[in-house]
């Protein structure tokens, strides 16, 4: 398969600097509200802080891919004496939890790195983090060219079909398409 050069946007998470203030969640939710900045609902944020103050756990996690199937097992991680489940680190929008789902429609949420025109200097979560726990970089990578990666519409339709069934989705599309 052919190789291509790609600029990859990357956010490095310094979890030990995070204080769990959730400014990143609010900034993301406001930026992605429709119309922009019209509401702030952290449930719509594409970054979530896994938080357990009694165990001194503050872990920023970014929304990644949608998956229709949940894991069949659960692992535990012990890091610096703190216990995490593997779900704590997981970026998936999956059936076993409410994380990374649009609260009204149930559609999967995914971090889009705040793509905008013109481009932002920094993603909103990075800009608003008061502790420098999120560091943004652009790195050049060699990647395999994919024939046709799933786009946002396909991912959205796939999760709607999973939630409501194919027949219901087809009926709704037909109803909306009527003049």
Q: Contacts with ligand SF4 in 21-50 (CB under 6 A)?
A: 21-24, 27-28, 31, 46-47, 49
The token duo for 120 is 């932002």
CB 5 to ligand SF4: min, Å: 22
CA distance 52 to 154: 35
Does residue 7 have a cis peptide bond before it, meaning omega lies within 30 degrees of 0? Answer: no
CB 67 to ligand SF4: min, Å: 18
CB closer to ligand SF4, 62 vs 66: 62
**Count of chain residues binding ligand SF4 (CB under 6 A):** 27
Q: Which of 30, 50, 57, 62 binds ligand SF4 (CB under 6 A)?
A: 62
CA distance 113 to 28: 10
**Contact stretch for ligand SF4 (CB under 6 A) within 14-22, 71-79, 87-95, 171-179:** 14-22
Task: Give the CB-side neighbour count of residue 145, counting CA atoms within 13 A.
Answer: 6
The 130-159 site mask, x for binding ligand SF4 (CB under 6 A), equals -x-xx-------------------------
Q: What is the CA radius of gyration of the chain?
A: 18
CB closer to ligand SF4, 24 vs 160: 24
The token duo for 13 is 């998470």
CB closer to ligand SF4, 121 vs 175: 121
Contacts of 73 (CB under 8 A, 6+ apart): none
Q: Contacts with ligand SF4 in 91-120 (CB under 6 A)?
A: 111-114
CB closer to ligand SF4, 62 vs 159: 62
Contact 51, 20 (CB under 8 A): yes
| Alpha helix positions (H), 17-165 | 23-31, 86-89, 124-128, 152-164
For binding to ligand SF4 (CB under 6 A), which residues are involved? 18-24, 27-28, 31, 46-47, 49, 58, 60, 62, 111-114, 123-125, 129, 131, 133-134
């Amino acid at each position: 398969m052919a190789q291509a050069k790609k600029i990859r946007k990357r956010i490095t998470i310094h979890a030990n600097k995070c204080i769990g203030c959730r400014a990143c969640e609010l900034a993301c939710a406001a930026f992605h509200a429709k119309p922009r900045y019209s509401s702030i609902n952290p449930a719509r944020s594409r970054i979530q802080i896994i938080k357990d103050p009694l165990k001194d756990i503050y872990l920023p996690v970014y929304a990644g891919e949608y998956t229709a199937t949940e894991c069949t097992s659960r692992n535990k991680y012990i890091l610096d004496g703190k216990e995490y489940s593997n779900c704590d680190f997981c970026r998936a929008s999956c059936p076993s939890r409410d994380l990374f789902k649009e609260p009204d429609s149930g559609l999967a949420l995914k971090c889009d790195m705040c793509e905008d025109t013109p481009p932002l200097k920094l993603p909103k979560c990075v800009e608003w983090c008061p502790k420098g726990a999120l560091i943004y970089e652009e790195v050049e990578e060699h990647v395999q060219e994919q024939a046709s990666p799933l786009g946002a519409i396909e991912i959205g339709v796939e999760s709607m079909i999973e939630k409501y069934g194919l027949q219901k989705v087809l009926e709704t599309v037909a109803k909306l398409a009527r003049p």
